[in-house]
Chains A and B, each alone.
Chain A
């Protein structure tokens, strides 16, 4: 693994177990600035857990994560830990499989919530920025809708706008299209591809090989808590080095 001064995220020997089971078994990888890092692999391979380690939603037993100028490691004293996490999370956005919009706030309010209350942006500035972002994801007409009046695809697009509103260094996607039907998934995919094209550093965990191929500049295949194979998507998809990768791709295509 090459340690790159330009890396936005560097992960060294990450180990996580839960109730006696190993979930991440020594993962090392780095994500360069502007890179769109795709992570694929069979269910239970540790993809989502890995992603959640990057912004401290999960803790781990061994290894280090350099992100946003901070280093996450297992043995940080509780008080310092919460300070480090706050700093990391301001710089690392996340989009969830289940959207997790705040149901008691409108689309616009969802987007301005963190800029106003975390960054301390003036409300007007935040609203202006939010309008622009909602326009960009195609929801300029739905500013004042409550989340439960929006379709799943629309909700996920609001969630992307909400994450972008913090102008994060790194944006994490956790199965962003898995909870959507194909038409809505395509809408969301288009938005993610558009964001990727702007040079935003992203880590995208997905089951959708189409999304991975369309957006990723670097691809990692996870299985059993290890990185099975890494490389540009063309190489991994079209000329996999590992037999296990070939098998996974065959299974995934058959679905």
Chain B
């Protein structure tokens, strides 16, 4: 048998030892001859994206910058693909050496990681439809008149645009969070959003693809793209800072930016920012940890938990009703409908919920059916779960002895009457345990709805964790909130189970 405490100590020692032995990442880079930089090529233009002529190789101004920096260090650059909002986690787990992907310098990032001098000065551009009279300038971004709805503005998760809107327009507009810049632009085109706030480079790059859109008002929120590094890698930082300095002085960086149409007058200031402190860059490094995080961000999670409850509580009854109808069709319907029911169940069980949500939210608008995110989520969950409920009900209906249907028919009931009054009520009692089990499962599956911009608990956790870096605190709170929802639900389920199978008191 294992000796528990000893085993834990040994594991601890193993995990600590490499940390102690690790030197500056610069040495590792020299040894391996490669600088591994993390970025996200999905919707990644003009930063890093697949070459249209040769899709297996990456291009983009950051791809070129990485090559230039690596060359200056006498090593090769290697691109590492990761989801944009998880790049800093990848950095922490040492899978990559640096993060360079339009990552803006923010107080909390400055508090958690080392960073280089700025390599680009970005601004935020508001992008709206050309034909939208409600939004012509920044002055139109204000509290709606009574009876009007709030403006909906999409932003990339954990981007400077999100933080800018939260700081300046938290109560004025509805902020919708996306995982890709182009998703938000498409949603402006299909009129699900009024506008999207995005970094200037992305707006320049995708100008041609979204011709119905135009810039609204002046760019806002000046800030800096920097390269992030792990704490302790001071020598790597010095080396990269020197390289950036050289590329600025030689005009090579300007040449790259000009090629991508990104050079603005503002970039002239880059060369003077070499030794600028965080304060001079307008950023006060802060680290939000412990109770402070819970106090300042906890309510956001609690609110998002409300959305989680709402999704499950609205979608599950729908799933149960649809599922019962499908099961009845499958068992008692005429042949063509029976086949349809079988196809329905097999298609929905055989494809992922994620894909179904994409279809409802992103594909239906292409054929003219635009559903708000919340209702798309409800529809996706209800339809997906209805297939499983249908199978549960089928088993439940089949578990009711045949004699029950026969007795009802022999009393002169029609088949539908017999189903309604005799068979279904008994089937419902049989399926209470598996259905409540699915209800609890659905609570957790609501987290998938974040891909279609619904701000439920898991998404809110991800956003807040990204912003603060307080993974442990926020994860613990999130887990507690999920338990606080599912445990009462399990209790309710067992109460229902008892109630439905309880014998009435004998009164005669």
Name A residues whose Cβ lies closer than 8 Å to a Cβ of B: 55, 57, 82, 85-86, 89-90, 92-94, 96, 98, 100-104, 106, 113-114, 117-119, 141-146, 148-149, 162-163, 166
* Chain B residues within 8 Å of A143, by CB: 508
* Chain B residues within 8 Å of A119, by CB: 412
| Interchain CB contact (< 8 A) of A55 among B403, B410, B508 | B410
CA distance A145 to B403 in the complex (A): 21
In the complex, B414 has a CB within 8 A of chain A: yes
By DSSP majority rule, is chain A's interface helix, strand, loop, or mixed? loop
CA distance A69 to B404 in the complex (A): 27
CA distance A86 to B2 in the complex (A): 72
The answer to whether residues A96 and B412 also contact, given A104-B429, A146-B503 and a CB cut-off of 8 A, is no
* Chain B residues within 8 Å of A145, by CB: 506, 508
CA distance A101 to B422 in the complex (A): 10
| Interchain CB contact (< 8 A) of A57 among B406, B412, B426 | B406
* Chain A residues within 8 Å of B421, by CB: 113, 117
Q: How many whole Å from B386's CB to the nearest CB in chain A?
A: 25
The answer to whether residues A100 and B504 also contact, given A57-B409, A89-B412, A162-B411 and a CB cut-off of 8 A, is no
| Interchain CB contact (< 8 A) of B404 among A57, A100, A149 | A100
In the complex, B417 has a CB within 8 A of chain A: yes
In the complex, B507 has a CB within 8 A of chain A: yes
Q: Is the CB of B411 within 8 A of A104?
A: no
In the complex, B256 has a CB within 8 A of chain A: no
| Interchain CB contact (< 8 A) of A100 among B406, B417, B425 | B406
* Chain B residues within 8 Å of A162, by CB: 411
Q: Is the CB of B413 within 8 A of A117?
A: yes
In the complex, B407 has a CB within 8 A of chain A: yes
Q: Which of B409, B410, B421 counts the most chain A CB atoms within 10 A?
A: B410
Q: How many whole Å from B85's CB to the nearest CB in chain A?
A: 52
Q: Beta-carbon contacts of B414-426 to A below 8 Å, as 1s and 0s? A: 1101000110011
By DSSP majority rule, is chain B's interface helix, strand, loop, or mixed? helix
A-B contact count (CB 8 A): 72
Q: Is the CB of A89 within 8 A of B404?
A: no
Q: Which of A117, A146, A149 counts the most chain B CB atoms within 10 A?
A: A117
Give 9 nearest A-B pairs by CB, closest first. Answer: A100-B407, A114-B411, A100-B403, A90-B412, A94-B410, A118-B412, A89-B412, A144-B508, A143-B508
Pick 26 A–B contacts, CB within 8 A, sort by A. A55-B410, A57-B406, A82-B415, A85-B409, A89-B409, A89-B411, A89-B412, A92-B410, A93-B410, A93-B411, A94-B407, A96-B406, A98-B401, A98-B403, A102-B422, A113-B411, A117-B417, A117-B421, A118-B413, A118-B417, A144-B504, A145-B506, A146-B503, A146-B504, A162-B411, A166-B412
* Chain A residues within 8 Å of B429, by CB: 104
Q: Beta-carbon contacts of B218-233 to A below 8 Å, as 1s and 0s? A: 0000000000000000
* Chain B residues within 8 Å of A96, by CB: 403, 406-407, 410
* Chain B residues within 8 Å of A82, by CB: 414-415
| Interchain CB contact (< 8 A) of B507 among A90, A113, A144, A166 | A144
The answer to whether residues A57 and B503 also contact, given A102-B422, A104-B425 and a CB cut-off of 8 A, is no
| Interchain CB contact (< 8 A) of A144 among B403, B407, B506 | B506
CA distance A232 to B180 in the complex (A): 89
- Which B residue's beta carbon lies closest to that of A91? B412
